[in-house]
Chains A and B, each alone.
Chain A
Amino acid sequence: MDNSFKNSELIDRYLNGLLNEDEQHQFEEQLAQDNELKSELDDQRDVEEGIRLFFEDELKAKLQSTEAEFKDGGQKFLWSRQSFYAIAASIALLIGCYYVFFQSTPNNDKTFYALYKPYPNVVEPVVRLMDNNSNLAMNYYESGDYENAILLLSESLLSDPNNDDYLFYLGQSYMASDNMELAYKTFNKMVTENNKYTAPTLWYLALINFRNGNNQQTKRHLNQLISDHSDYKVRAEGLLETLD
């Protein structure tokens, strides 16, 4: 256990109401005098509350998906009564696979945004990539300047086209900039062989497919995450539930 958090257990018991009356009184007295303890308590409270909210967000995504079913039901009803719309839909289909695939399905958008978060930068500065260009790219990525991250990562890929770090974060940057088509193409270059980003790449591919209403592909990626017992297994099962 990390010694720098020597009060973790005590704080945890305090936050979860597990201290008896005496212990609680003592803790609160200590808290009034010890700023370090107070600051650790605040951080731990934020962490615990953040965790609760995160899992509630996952439930919210499921409920939004259920809500979308209600709306779909309403739309189907209208369509069956108004053949005009059916004809319009047929015309829309002719616009082509490209358009259909890479336009989001509005009903999936809310769920998508509840589940989607850009992947954190896990490339440590000390071992970080390799040249100044790429370091700068990761700094841009970390600060949310995805446009510049895309420029520099694309440049880095010219000299090292199979670099997993470059490809993965380029895909992430496209996705964060809402360019799902290029994010999808970039991630797809990575799934042919195993690497440290295999599981997250499959997860993000599943999310892109889900957002586009491509349920078959979404299920394929999610099932792979589940059968691989990856870190995304529980999340994949949750999203799969909304598709069944």
Chain B
Amino acid sequence: MLKISDESILKQIKSQDDQGVIHLYKSYRNEFILWAKKKFDIGEDQAADVFQDCIITFRSNVISGKLTVLSSSIKTYLFGIGKNLILSKFRKSSKEVYDETMLNFFPSVEPTMEQTIEHNEKQKMIRTWLSNLGEPCYTVLRLFYYEGFSMEAIAAKMGYKNDNVAKTQKLRCINSLKSKLIKASNKENVN
């Protein structure tokens, strides 16, 4: 596979192109899986699953602005996230054959709790509603929460008059989900 520079990868991810993320996955997938299998005694499917979460966390950090400058290579950063994820996911079941000193080779990447991608019951319900959400809510929420667009950029993209219209639209969508959540919680309490 053609290796592209870390800067280009960051640029691609920031330009809201999932192809950049997929390219990143393909670039380091084999190496990560071999490393994870050897160091942590986990299976290929488990390692692949963890690596997908690494990529998602990495992308989220880039989009949210938590990660703007790389003090190490993307590979080191990704493997650092991977190390934390594996330790938090598999520590109990792992045979713990790995050498702790080896782990220190890759830096820990904070925050570790966020990386464990846990969904509570309410969030699960919200995800169900979102999978069938109509427009413009689907796109507005995607642009803001996933693509990291500013309100001005959302207004331009959606053809709204200004950022206040975009803000109001976004809050309408949030409130409609909040109403459903409250309704569902009340129903549960009655039952």
Contact = CB atoms under 8 A, between A and B. Distances in A.
Interface string A3-40: 01100110010000000000000000000000000001
A161 interface: no
Nearest to A52: B145
Interface string A29-62: 0000000000010011011111111111111101
A15 B179 CA distance: 18
Interface string A60-83: 101110110010000000000000
Contact of A231 (B18, B134, B168, B181): B134
B134 A44 contact: no
A96 interface: no
Contact of B132 (A43, A51, A119): A119
Contact of B171 (A12, A40, A119): A12
Contacts of A60: 52-53, 56
Contacts of B179: 2, 4
A52 B22 CA distance: 19
B178 interface: yes
Interface residues of A, number: 44
B141 A51 contact: yes
A102 B170 CA distance: 40
B111 to A, nearest CB: 14
Nearest to A57: B127
Interface string B48-76: 10001101100110000000000000000
Nearest to B132: A119
Nearest 9 Cβ contacts at the A-B interface: A50-B126, A55-B146, A50-B123, A117-B131, A231-B134, A63-B52, A46-B122, A54-B127, A54-B130
Given A12-B171, A47-B181, 14 more contacts: A5-B171, A5-B175, A9-B167, A40-B178, A47-B177, A48-B174, A52-B60, A52-B146, A54-B126, A59-B18, A59-B146, A63-B21, A67-B48, A238-B18
Interface of A: 1-2, 4-5, 8-9, 12, 40, 43-44, 46-60, 62-64, 66-67, 70, 115-120, 200, 231, 233-235, 238, 241
